[in-house]
Chain A
Amino acid sequence: MTEPSDENDVKALLGRALSGEPPLTLDRDEVFRQGRRKLRIRRMFSTGGAIGGAVVAVVGAVMLTGLIADEPAPEETPPAASPTALPAPPGPTLPLSTTEVAPTRLSAPPSQHHANTLTADFFARNDALPDTAQTFRPDGKSARFTVAKDTYELRVDVRLPDAEGALTVSIGAADPKRVAGCGDLPDAKYGCTVRAARGIHVAVGTWKDYGTGEKRYIAFAVHPDGTSVTAIATNLPDAKRKGGLRPTDRTPVFGQDVMAKLVTMPALRYAG
């Protein structure tokens, strides 16, 4: 074989290493799924809507009246992963059923009806957030879950007697076999731990912006039925963010234990 003397010869040499190339087995759906999830988390990190008059809801009280769907109907999504439920990981107070999940439930697109149900359940059956927590939606509308492309989203400012901040919750569908880990929180660059809450693995990470003083706790869990829940608590309310102000508190409005409990709330279930 002749010795290559120019760039084309080097290219030919490298090309020989590709001999025996197998068929591509790339999981196209997984690329879309992971991409959408990362996009969702990125959007959750970005600033929310315009600040308007604050509507207050006390967490723990049923406050659902006159919800109006103002989001466009969700688009078709690729087929979801197999919804076969697995036995839940061991835990003392596992509240979720481990029975088979109806095959169509987690593959159905989000619906406004279920967004309303989630809102009602979140505020009526919330055992994670303190009773003293008050939620404000910066655009002045009722604090509620809204329908996104393939998730339900809740974004509210929060006030406690001694703290303030914002909370974002996103509920979607995932492979029930998936176990939350720190790899699910690429934005948590300042620490991440995996813990158990209600018998479910929860990844809880920390994000900081040393420039503004904002700090966030991010929690992620996949329920045994395949519901994935991501929540972010920050010490910077959207109202202050919009005004270019810095946070008053040093830590997010909710601690990591609360966040772990929040993302494993049985009431947070994905359905179409």
Chain B
Amino acid sequence: MADRDAEFGEYLESRAVVMRRTAYLLCGGDWHRAEDLVQTTLTKIYVAWSRIRRDGSVDAYSRRIMVRAAIDESRRAYRRREAVVDTVPEVEATPEPGVEDAVDVRRALAQLPAGQRAVVVLRYWEDLSVAETAAALGKSEGTVKSQAAKGLAALRRLLATSGSPSATPSSTEGDDRAEAGES
């Protein structure tokens, strides 16, 4: 148990900040929910530590747990009631450079369906391959390709209509013929 605690403690210290950033994007831009998500994920990692440490699959397990928890949470009605799209953090009257950009990106992310958002985050933020993303989400590679394309198209559309000077992402691997399978 002492080994478990020591090893897990090191993992927690080294990964918590990075995990929270991914969680923040997965839940559509809410730091409090992101931190809850990280806490839930870390607790599950602690329980499974011996096995996943032995398998060398800690990060893969972490991503799988976090993304599924984020999607489950997004589907809950009480969470939808608190959807970030309605409560974008207040922006100062004279915002710092880049703040408006950040709000626009958050708002756009928050409007994506949770499953589509997860694909975008895993593919483009976590730099996972299509196969790795499919494994993390328990979806087919075709679905991942399709949702990645749709997610980027939706982001581009949402950012364009926001009137933000933000960049608008272009699809890098559109495959609209692939299975749609929106979660």
Partner of B47, one of A11, A21, A22, A39: A39
Rounded to whole angstroms, the CA-CA distance of A20 and B99 in the bound complex is: 8
Q: How far is the CA of A19 from the CA of B95 in the complex (A)?
A: 12
Cα A188 to Cα B148 in complex, Å, equals 36
* CB-based contact A149/B31 at 8 Å: no
A3 to B172 alpha-carbon distance, docked (Å): 12
Query: Can you list, as one digit per residue, whether each of B1-43 has a CB less than 8 Å from chain A (1) or not (0)?
Result: 1100100110010001100110011000101000100110011
A2→B167 contact, CB < 8 A: yes
Distance in Å: Cβ of A76 to nearest Cβ of chain B: 8
A149 touches B1 (CB 8 A): yes
**Which one of B20, B35, B39, B166 lies within 8 Å of A13 (CB-CB)?**
B166
Q: Indicate if A34 sits at the interface (CB-CB under 8 A).
A: yes
Chain B contacts for A18, CB-based, 8 A = 21, 24-25, 102
Interface size class of B (residues with CB under 8 A): 35 or more
Instruction: Tell me which of B17, B39, B109, B170 contacts A5 (CB under 8 A).
Output: B170
**Interface pair A19/B39, CB less than 8 Å apart:** no
B80, chain A: closest CB distance, angstroms: 19
Of B5, B24, B101, B170, which one neighbours A3 at CB under 8 angstroms?
A: B170
Interchain Cβ contacts within 8 Å, total number: 112
Within the assembled complex, what's the spacing in Å between the Cα atoms of A13 and B47?
35
Inter-subunit contact B24/A10 (CB<8 Å): no
Contact A14 B124 (CB under 8 A): yes
Q: Given contacts A14-B121, A16-B105, are A25 and B167 in contact (CB under 8 A)? A: no
How far is B121's CA from A11's CA once the two chains are assembled, in angstroms? 9
Q: How far is the CB of B83 from chain A (nearest CB, A)?
A: 16
Chain A's interface size range is: 35 or more
Q: Contacts of B155 on A, CB cut-off 8 Å?
A: 13
Q: In chain B, what residue has the closest Cβ to A30? A: B39
Q: Which of B140-183 contact A (CB under 8 A)?
A: 152, 155, 165-170, 172
CA distance A35 to B29 in the complex (A): 26
* B53 shortest CB reach to chain A, Å: 14
7 contacts between A and B (CB under 8 A): A11-B125, A13-B105, A21-B21, A25-B35, A27-B39, A38-B43, A39-B46
Residues of A bordering B, CB below 8 Å: 1-7, 9-22, 24-28, 30-32, 34-36, 38-39, 42, 75, 149
Q: Which residues of B contact A (CB under 8 A)?
A: 1-2, 5, 8-9, 12, 16-17, 20-21, 24-25, 29, 31, 35, 38-39, 42-47, 89, 98-99, 101-102, 105-106, 109, 120-121, 123-125, 127, 152, 155, 165-170, 172
Given contacts A14-B105, A39-B47, 5 further A-B contacts (CB under 8 A): A4-B170, A7-B172, A10-B124, A13-B169, A34-B43
